[in-house]
Amino acid sequence: MIRELRIKNLALIENLTLGFEGGFTVFTGETGAGKSILIGAIGLLLGERASSEMIRSGCDDAEVCGCLEIENFRPKLQRFLKEAGIETDEGCLIIRRNISRAGKNKILVNQIPLPLSSLKSLGDLLIDLHGQHQHQSLLNEEAHVDIVDALPQTYEARSAYAFLYNAFSAAKQELHDAQRAARELADKRDVLEFQFRELSALDPQRGEDETLEQELSLLSTSAQRSECAKEILVLMGSAETDGGGASIPKKLAQIKRHLETLSKYDPSVAPYIGELESVLSTCSDLDLFCSKYIETMGGGPQGRMEEINARLAKIQRLKKKDSCGINELIDKKEQLAKNLSLLNNTDADIEALQKNAEKARNLCVAAASALTAARKSALSEFDREVTRRMELLGFNGGEWKTALTPTAEPAPKGMEEIRFLVRTNPGEPHLPLAKTASGGEVSRLMLAVKSILAEQDEIPVLIFDEIDTGIGGVLAKEVAKALYSLSSTHQVLCISHLHQIASSADHHYLVTKKTIGGRTVTEVVPLGIDARTTEIARMLGGESEITVKHARELLRNRG
């Protein structure tokens, strides 16, 4: 409900703060007093377009601020607030709209900036305004299906359909994604196959380039290494030398024999014999190593070096081509293999997804048929009841009709378009509301619809302007009764010129226009019982003993 409304420098309103209660609130006053400014201010909070012409003369900006107290955050409202990042403090929403002549307009909801389109979406969830302003859910044909599905007879069928439609949408999306991926892969088949063949022919191994470069480094020093091995053999005497003579191992063997003889006479030399045996073993191993080392390099490294260089060149070319390392080339090869495998299996996979989507569609269509049946059953009673209430609200000979137009494919809200048609006078055709009804007529039609949907309606605040246009007498009393009844489930605000409606309200505000300091100002004040009696007497035709008595009687018997 609207708990508080603050208006500053808007048209004739200089500075106004209004507090509201639940139930039925009425605003009355002479024509031109400024009642429409109140509606315009609320319209700004609902996302209506703003103009600098609305700003009070002599002021740079205007501001409207509304505090709304939310008792029940319905799912749609919860989703909106979550997506917008708006947190609620103790169930309150504070909407602030500032209009500047400089064009620096601001919209804040609980201090969070919002664009105008988002404010309008939020307003659609909070307030239904009916009158000369077009913020009316009844005129929005896209909202008609939601009004119908708020009927108790259709709620379960709509929920069941929504679940299956979501499953169908997911199956369709999965199929669509698979088909798109298949098309993209198919378009690249030749390229993929060429890249895979190229990498398969190379067959790179992880870390291979580093291993080859290390081997190449060794091969490039083979001459130096071979010469060193030969020199070692020469120095050891294993190779032939110009001077001849015994080799180092032979000399060491002779020394060992002399030590063994000496040890017979002096045991202290025995340790040297063991150490000399170790040296002899090392010399023997070194001799064998150098000989084999030279043999392995006997054919020269040139052939292997050419082979390695050729291999490294191929690896380097592909690394440079794909701007990656050898491990990434291997990963790419594996991914190419997977993609080509997918191409080979695509037809089977897509066929399975098509069957799944078709099955989901059949279930969705069946649920849509059940939803259509539930809607038709509910609308039969709904149309009759709205038509009956239209008669009570002044549409003699009028008729309400809901048209269902089938669609070929399942949509988020079913397989038909739903539109409300109305005949306001006998003998006339049924036409869409926007083409056949005036502002006051639409307000009364919405009153009829809202009265039927009172318990299910998710919009907590209803505002009616011009609802009493062209009516009076018994009809005005019926409108008043309907508004009062509706206020048991909604906060109802109404601007009225009729005493029947004003006397039925729980709360009464008087809108007046005064001249203060040479400036015209609109004021709005709550009325106590005596002031209210006086105002209703005025609405009855003037303050006389009879009208005052009648006003008191109306207030005693209100509702």
- What pLDDT, on the 0 to 100 scale, is given for residue 212? 83
Q: Is 542 left (phi over 0), alpha (psi -120 to 50) or beta?
A: left
| DSSP-assigned letters across all residues of 32-65 | TSSHHHHHHHHHHHTT----GGGBPTT-SEEEEE
Q: Cα separations (Å) of 487 from 186, 348, 434, 454? A: 64, 61, 26, 9
DSSP reduced 3-state for 122: helix
Instruction: Pick the closest to residue 308 from 429, 415, 411, 217 (CA basis).
Output: 217
What does the alpha-carbon distance between residue 238 and residue 231 come to, in Å, rounded to a whole number? 10
Indicate the residue type of 511.
V
Give 330-340 pLDDT, tens digit per residue. 888 888 888 77
Token pair for 423: 């005949």
Give the residue-averaged pLDDT of 364-371. 96
Q: In the chain, what are the domains?
A: 2-144+440-526 (3.40.50.300)
Phi then psi for residue 437, to 5 deg, are -115, 145
The conformation of residue 430, written as its DSSP 8-state character, comes to P
Q: Longest C-alpha distance within the chain, in Å?
A: 161
Phi then psi for residue 190, to 5 deg, are -60, -45
What does the alpha-carbon distance between residue 53 and residue 50 come to, in Å, rounded to a whole number? 8
Average the pLDDT over each of 436-440, 512-516, 550-554 and give the range with the smallest value: 436-440
Q: What is the mean pLDDT of the chain?
A: 85
Give 486-540 pLDDT, tens digit per residue. 888 889 999 988 899 999 999 999 999 998 888 899 999 999 999 999 999 998 8
Is 28 or 466 the better-scoring residue by pLDDT?
A: 28
- What pLDDT, on the 0 to 100 scale, is given for residue 318? 85
pTM of this prediction? 0.59
8 Å CB contact between 246 and 229: no
Band (245; pLDDT cuts 50, 70, 90): low
What does the alpha-carbon distance between residue 443 and residue 138 come to, in Å, rounded to a whole number? 9
Instruction: Pick the closest to residue 505 from 520, 538, 527, 523 (CA basis).
Output: 527
Average the pLDDT over each of 150-164, 416-430, 441-455 and give the range with the smallest value: 441-455
Strand-pairing partners, residue 509, are 27, 526
What does the alpha-carbon distance between residue 73 and residue 266 come to, in Å, rounded to a whole number? 111
DSSP reduced 3-state for 389: helix
The residue with tokens 């029940």 is 72
Average the pLDDT over each of 94-98, 270-274, 352-356 and give the range with the smallest value: 270-274
- What pLDDT, on the 0 to 100 scale, is given for residue 196? 83
